[in-house]
Amino acid sequence: MISFPNQPASFQGGSVLLDRALGSFLGVAIGDALGATVEFMTAGEIAGRYQIHQEIIGGGWLNLKPGGVTDDTEMALALGSALIASGGWNPRAIADAFVTWVRGNPVDIGNACRRGISRYIADGSLCAPPADENGGNGAAMRNLPTVLASLASEELLIERSLEQAHITHNHPKSDAATAALARMTRRLLLAGEQAACNQIADHLIARHPAFGFKPWPGKTSGYVVDTVQTVFDGFFNTGSFEACLVRVVNRGGDADTTGALAGQLAGALYGVQGIPVRWLKKLDPAVTTAIYIQTQKLLKLSGPDIMATI
């Protein structure tokens, strides 16, 4: 049996897939909580204040409690709850869950997400019109539940990933990044194949050279290209979950989202056993519980072949 800090008493598990899936979802939340402290700071400002930022202490411009999370984790949990309640793929249920989330006065929300959800409230449409202003990272940051519920088919995973993305974001580079990160996470969950992630990254860059990250270009904005470059730089140039997240969030900028996406990939590679216990202990227990429960239920939505491995 897997046993971790803040683990709900009802949790039962032990498979490699479940370890990786929990690592990935908890990785999103931990990267979010760690990065939120230094969001919108520069790397120089972070070094001046913390030397190296490596503890979950809350604060930041949102004045979070230690272990608190932002829209990255909250939107992922909203998406996951919609899929679980629907018993399968249901874009309208996802959009409705985003509406409920917005009406609960979240601590933060990105501009494209706000526009897209407001449009859905106004006209019920599930697809934002193509627009340059929709090239942010908000679609990619929340997509992990789609991956967990769609492991049986990469083609179906990409289709679903773009469908949920288009509720708020409709932009070629957002689409490409969301699909690539989904494919990478799927391969890591199923087989721990970091080499496959290199191939997926190379394919993304071949189709969209702007995503090239060698050497790291030094930008950390919410533009999806800057986000992916920063995440790839951390993921492909470190050897542990902790080293990956520390490298990424200390770049500053949109550090909660780069941290969340780095945590998604690193958690899927190293598993929950690879996450520092001190970080697991700091994460908001309500978030931890929701992630444990959702992860198991979302994996079940991937079908009986996947369930047989859990």
Taking a C-beta distance cutoff of 8 angstroms, is the pair 128, 169 a contact?
Answer: yes
The phi, psi pair for 67, rounded to 5°, reads: 90, -5
The type of residue at 108 is D
The phi, psi pair for 56, rounded to 5°, reads: -85, 105
Pick the closest to residue 268 from 24, 27, 26 (CA basis). Answer: 24
Residue 306: how many CB atoms within 10 A of its CB?
20
- Say how many residues make up the chain: 310
Q: Which residues contact 23 (CB under 8 A, 6 or more apart)?
A: 241, 266, 267, 268, 269, 270, 271, 272, 273, 274, 275
Peptide bond into 215 cis (omega under 30): yes
Helix pair 255-270, 172-191: axis angle to 10 deg: 30
Each residue's pLDDT, cut to its tens digit, for the chain (310 residues) gives: 455 565 554 444 569 999 999 999 999 999 999 999 999 999 999 999 999 999 999 999 999 999 999 999 999 999 999 999 999 999 999 999 999 999 999 999 999 999 999 999 999 999 999 999 999 999 999 999 999 999 999 999 999 999 999 999 999 999 999 999 999 999 999 999 899 999 999 999 999 999 999 999 999 999 999 999 999 999 999 999 999 999 999 999 999 999 999 999 999 999 999 999 999 999 999 999 999 999 999 999 998 777 777 6
Measured CA angle at 301 (ends 295, 303), to 5 deg: 120
DSSP state, 130?
P
> Hey, what are 232's tokens?
């790839």
**What integer pLDDT is reported at residue 260 of this predicted model?**
98
The type of residue at 76 is A
**What integer pLDDT is reported at residue 306 of this predicted model?**
77
**What integer pLDDT is reported at residue 8 of this predicted model?**
53
Taking a C-beta distance cutoff of 8 angstroms, is the pair 253, 236 a contact?
Answer: no
252: β partners? 42
Q: How far is residue 252's CA from residue 218's CA, in Å, rounded to a whole number? A: 10
**What integer pLDDT is reported at residue 214 of this predicted model?**
97
**What integer pLDDT is reported at residue 305 of this predicted model?**
75
